[in-house]
Chain A
Amino acid sequence: MAETIPAAGATTEGAIQVGQPRDARVSAPASYDVADFPVPNGREEEWRFTPLERLRGLHDGTAVATGGGVKVEVSAPAGVIVETVGRDDARVGKAGKPVDRVAAQAYSAFEKAGVVSIPKDAVLSEPVRISVHGQGGVAFGHQVVEVGAFAEAVVVIDHTGDATVAANVEYLIGDGAKLTVVSIQDWDDTAVHAAQHTALIGRDATFKSVVVTFGGDVVRLHPRVLYGAPGGEAELYGLYFTDEGQHQEHRLFIDHDTPHCRSNVAYKGALQGRDAHAVWIGDVLIRAEAEGTDTYELNRNLVLTDGARVDSVPNLEIETGEIVGAGHASATGRFEDEQLFYLMARGIPADEARRLVVRGFFAELIQQIGVADLQERLLEKIDAELEASVV
């Protein structure tokens, strides 16, 4: 039995596949060693949308760490343990292996890993803040966030400045724990940032990820979710605002390999300007053993001007019929002239009306996140971004 259900949208492709090879999007097996991956040439499934020539050598071994390429600062409420450890630390690499050449390059090249541990049962009243500030150099990074059983934490990772960075971020989420991570890519428009985010979700644990990408010349993020035990829940939210000349790529993979886990994905992007390029890949695999899975993924794009391009590829592979639900939606639309007219007919000038519509488009997603003061801050960020850009 094979069925293919194409998704709607002009620059959108997608399918629900049954019984397809699970590694269809990966050209080499996962490995910690960069030498196990051939240098990509751009024809591989996982590289075909990426402008390799703009990766500044992160993909072919020519990028060399400059030392002090980025400055990392961590501030955490009392009780949280913040460490810098060697690569032999047992927690490093525990969530999963790098799955592409750049992630493996980062893994092979980093010197010290940052580890933030939230002890068992701790409920943090303040977020942990990790600031990654680019200082113009090349850096390979590794960060682990470990949340003990039944602990609850919010971690905010802010990326600013200019740098060429490849990194791995691991989230180890203990049984019954709740982790919310906000990763903001607010880079200068010259930065190059490629990272794999791997979350390993414990029994009945909850992982909420909010990825916000505004800046960078090239940003290529690869959030991955694995379930270590039944009852886990992942909510992955994302928003991006892709301006003229920017390439912003978000490639998600959720591996439902464990029964009775849930995942919900919602990513929204707005694009404007010539050669603004957004790529969204949503791979969800429901393995034969993952009965009782409930998953939904959505990607929406709003194209504000001519010359911008979106590639949106949801992909759901289902190997068991014993599931609660599985679905996806992907749509890419042009700016709604009727909305603009309605607002302008109430005296609101065109540029302000456009900002309101785009803000509303993102606000719809932000309203779903369900962490009140976070929502406020994200809306402020959106406002600032919209204020700064022409639209």
Chain B
Amino acid sequence: MATLEIHDLHVSVEAENGPREILRGVDLTVKQGETHAIMGPNGSGKSTLAYSLAGHPKYTVTGGTVTLDGEDVLAMSVDERARAGVFLAMQYPVEVPGVSVSNFLRTSATAIRGEAPKLRTWVKEVKEAMERLHMDPSFAERNVNEGFSGGEKKRHEILQLELLKPKIAILDETDSGLDVDALRIVSEGVNRVRESGEVGTLLITHYTRILRYIKPDHVHVFAAGRIAESGGPELADKLEAEGYEAYVKGGASA
């Protein structure tokens, strides 16, 4: 069973006046089949955690370990991590001019699966996945994320999640900027992947709204670069009622 283990993770970014520590000792274990919600105020370091796990070059790991089934994730390049089964649905997906969605998806699936998917079954697979996410077929011919609305970008991320079937899915504010319909469609996509029981999900969010659709097994409050409190789904209800204030006061300032 796939397990992602994060132990005492410290991460810095290069700021104007030298390196600045953002993550200050994150401990978290995510097992296949589990869903962990990570909730926290803006600026608490949630995206930094997500990007660091995916290997974004802007973030420097200064301490701690991350392993996937015992393998050292931090030693892997960005693409190796993805092929090992780590998937990051980005808060702000990047435009890639001149590269069509269909070419991108196929290149990516080829890399992740280790061989080019058979054309006939692939076309069908993509078409069906797009239909489930209520995406127009013409979408495949557009350039990656170029001119996409906020909702289209997030659907496109979840489309990739469904096609690439990772072991660990990190969803960074996939809910933000979505209207109720889009939120439901995107959540259904995430749930289809979860129902396979083969993915461990790290659901990063600022709001409790998405938790109505995606039920977490564990909820963690993220504040000032670390997990301030962990609990079950009831912790989300408490946050819904009381907000993050209690955690922010406890020394969030950098």
**Complex CA–CA separation, A249 to B179 (angstroms):** 51
**Complex CA–CA separation, A29 to B108 (angstroms):** 56
Assess whether B30 is interfacial by the CB under 8 Å rule. no
**Complex CA–CA separation, A143 to B164 (angstroms):** 54
**Complex CA–CA separation, A363 to B143 (angstroms):** 10
Q: Are A347 and B99 in contact (CB under 8 A)?
A: no
Bin the interface of chain A by size: 20 to 34
CB neighbors of B among A343-391 (8 A): 343-350, 352-353, 356-357, 359-364, 367
**Complex CA–CA separation, A343 to B97 (angstroms):** 12
Q: Which residues of B contact A345 (CB under 8 A)?
A: 54-55, 78-79, 81-82, 87-88, 90
Q: Given A347-B111, A356-B107, does the pair A342, B79 have CB atoms closer than 8 Å? A: no
Interface string of A10-21 (1 = CB under 8 A from B): 000000000000
Q: Which residues of B contact A346 (CB under 8 A)?
A: 82, 104, 107-108, 111-112, 160, 164
Residue in A339, A349, A367 whose beta carbon sits within 8 Å of that of B111 in the complex = A349
CB neighbors of A among B89-117 (8 A): 90, 93-99, 103-104, 107-108, 111-112
Interface string of B165-194 (1 = CB under 8 A from A): 000000000000000000000000000000
Q: Which residues of B contact A339 (CB under 8 A)?
A: 94-96
- Tell me if A's interface is mostly helix, strand, loop or mixed: helix
Assess whether B218 is interfacial by the CB under 8 Å rule. no
Q: How far, in Å, is A302 (CB) from chain B's closest CB? A: 11
Q: Given A339-B94, A341-B57, A342-B90, does the pair A350, B79 have CB atoms closer than 8 Å? A: yes
State how many residues of chain B have any CB contact under 8 Å with chain A: 30
Assess whether B62 is interfacial by the CB under 8 Å rule. no
Q: Which residues of A contact B93 (CB under 8 A)?
A: 342
Q: Which residues of A contact B98 (CB under 8 A)?
A: 359-364, 367
Q: Given A337-B57, A341-B57, A341-B78, does the pair A347, B112 have CB atoms closer than 8 Å? A: yes
Interface string of B51-76 (1 = CB under 8 A from A): 00011110000000000000000000
**Complex CA–CA separation, A356 to B106 (angstroms):** 12
Assess whether A88 is interfacial by the CB under 8 Å rule. no
Assess whether B149 is interfacial by the CB under 8 Å rule. no
Q: Which residues of B contact A361 (CB under 8 A)?
A: 97-98
Q: Are A353 and B79 in contact (CB under 8 A)?
A: yes
Assess whether B83 is interfacial by the CB under 8 Å rule. yes
**Complex CA–CA separation, A384 to B55 (angstroms):** 31
Q: Which residues of B contact A362 (CB under 8 A)?
A: 98
Q: Are A360 and B94 in contact (CB under 8 A)?
A: no
Residue in B83, B99, B111 whose beta carbon sits within 8 Å of that of A357 in the complex = B99
Assess whether B77 is interfacial by the CB under 8 Å rule. yes
Q: Are B164 and A347 in contact (CB under 8 A)?
A: yes
Q: Are A348 and B107 in contact (CB under 8 A)?
A: yes
Q: How far, in Å, is B109 (CB) from chain A's closest CB? A: 8
Q: Which residues of A contact B111 (CB under 8 A)?
A: 346-349, 352
Q: Which residues of B contact A349 (CB under 8 A)?
A: 79, 111
Assess whether A338 is interfacial by the CB under 8 Å rule. yes
Interface string of A325-340 (1 = CB under 8 A from B): 0000000000001110
**Which residue of A has the minimal Cβ distance to B98?**
A360
**Complex CA–CA separation, A347 to B82 (angstroms):** 5
**Complex CA–CA separation, A353 to B79 (angstroms):** 10
5 nearest A-B pairs in the assembled complex, by CB-CB distance: A360-B98, A363-B98, A347-B111, A347-B82, A346-B108
18 of the cross-chain contacts (CB-CB < 8 Å) are A339-B96, A342-B96, A343-B104, A344-B55, A344-B77, A344-B78, A344-B79, A344-B82, A345-B90, A346-B160, A347-B108, A347-B112, A353-B79, A356-B99, A356-B103, A360-B98, A360-B99, A360-B143
* 5 more CB-based (< 8 A) A-B contacts, given A345-B78, A352-B111: A339-B94, A346-B111, A347-B112, A349-B79, A350-B77
